[in-house]
Amino acid sequence: MDAGIAALLGAAVGSLATLGAAIVNGRAVARSQYAQWRRQHRRDAYADYLSALHDRDLAMDAVFDVLRPDRPDLRKADEEVQRFVALAREVHRVAEVVIIEGPLAMVAAADRIARASGDLSDVMRRMVKNAHAGDTSHKAADTALAAEREHALYQAVKSFRSAARDVVGTPD
């Protein structure tokens, strides 16, 4: 074989190998960038959800604070309940993004928070209703139940945070 043809074939094979390596490398980089983009979207969704939960929980605490005295300010209690309801709607809105972004483990963790939140909200609503009725007979029991359910909610949020770290690859 002529040296020129051998050199030409060698250059062609080298070029094809380089092109193949560039394609493989390009796909690997694209996959890596997509994975990073996906993690960032999930991280943002989870952070927004936790922030909305925090704001809503502060509003719930404000309702419980207003109900604490023997003769609570019912107008103030109703205002705080309205604020709580508005923030609870925001939690539901951002929870939809968590559901869309997934994965299923995060959806399950958000569902556990929703159930724990609902259980605590039920106690809060009953306490407000009883305060309006002037009924203090269940106040001590409801206050203890609220503390128990608040702890359950805290545990569900803690579990959500841990699952979120696992999904986005953030070390403990």
pLDDT class of 170 with cuts at 50, 70, 90 = low
- Return the DSSP state at 69: S
Q: Hey, how many other C-beta atoms are within 10 angstroms of the C-beta on 143?
A: 15
CA 49, 50, 56, 60 dihedral sign is positive
pLDDT above 80 (res 87): yes
Q: Assign domain 40-168 to a CATH class.
A: mainly alpha
| Cα 38 → chain centroid | 15
107-113 contacts, C-beta under 8 A, 24 or more apart: 109/156, 109/159, 109/160, 109/163, 109/164, 110/49, 110/160, 112/156, 112/159, 112/160, 113/53, 113/153, 113/156, 113/157, 113/160
Task: Give the model confidence (pLDDT) of 2-56 as tens digits.
Answer: 777 777 677 777 776 676 766 666 666 667 776 777 888 899 999 999 999 999 9
Task: Give the model confidence (pLDDT) of 99-154 as tens digits.
Answer: 998 899 999 999 999 999 999 999 999 999 999 999 999 999 999 999 999 999 99
pLDDT class of 172 with cuts at 50, 70, 90 = low
Q: Hey, how many other C-beta atoms are within 10 angstroms of the C-beta on 84?
A: 23
Q: Are 59 and 85 in contact (CB under 8 A)?
A: no
pTM of the model: 0.80
- Return the DSSP state at 63: H
pLDDT of residue 48: 96
pLDDT above 70 (res 94): yes
